[in-house]
Amino acid sequence: MEFRHFGKCSMLSPVPVAMVTSVDSAGKPNIFTAAWCGTVCTKPPMITLGIKPERYSHGLIKQSGECVLNMTSASLVRAADYCGVKSGRDTDKFADMRLTPIKTCVSAPAIAESPLNIPCRVKEIIPLGSHDMFILEVMDVALSESLFSGEAPDLGKANLVSFAHGEYYLTGEKLGFFGFSVASKEVLRRRMPKRGGGK
């Protein structure tokens, strides 16, 4: 494979697209879109968000100490883009995009139209340069009932969107599962019927 070097830039790809909700001191909700986010700890469950200090949401999340990550499904991608180019200082993004706020265990509402929402509390804010790193502790995880057929959720049904170098993509076909490279034929047959147990 031949390579072309792009130099020093943040091109880790793909990354998730989170619609992050928070409230002002009067309880009015806002949404901003964040792609600089990732899981950093399992116990306790923690996520980081990179937020520019000039974002309206930066002040809201810092002051309230809470926010909700609402993951973007294909049907929400236009709203996610809008919430990533308009500021809550100037407009009501819930109203503009006809989104429905619903109560969570933190002060910020979730977006009812998102299949996966994650209410969080701010643990720490670390200035890094252009962005501040918000370390968030996960307080709950709510998944749409439509993702369940048994006990475990099937996130493949959620049509989640990812982001790579400025473009939105739909998460694609299931290719495997954690540990499938060393799984028995029986497990592969059960969990990957087409690939593992194919003709």
With contact defined as beta carbons under 8 Å apart, do 158 and 17 qualify? no
Q: How many CB atoms lie within 10 A of CB 110?
A: 25
Within positions 137 to 156, which residues make up the interface with ligand FMN, using CB under 6 A?
Answer: none
| Contact mark string toward ligand FMN, 101..140, x via CB under 6 A | ------------------------------x---------
Using CB under 6 A, which of 11, 38, 52, 186 touches ligand FMN? 52
DSSP letter (8 states) at residue 137: E
Using CB under 6 A, which of 19, 21, 29, 55 touches ligand FMN? 55
With contact defined as beta carbons under 8 Å apart, do 93 and 28 qualify? no
Q: Does 88 bind ligand FMN (CB under 6 A)?
A: yes
**Rounded to an integer, what is the distance from CA 108 to the centroid of its chain?**
15
Provide the terminal-to-terminal Cα distance of the chain, rounded to the nearest Å. Answer: 33
| Contact mark string toward ligand FMN, 21..50, x via CB under 6 A | ---------x-xxxxx-------------x
CA nearest neighbour of 92 among 103, 102, 83: 83
Interface with ligand FMN (CB under 6 A): 17, 30, 32-36, 50-52, 55-57, 81, 84-89, 131, 163
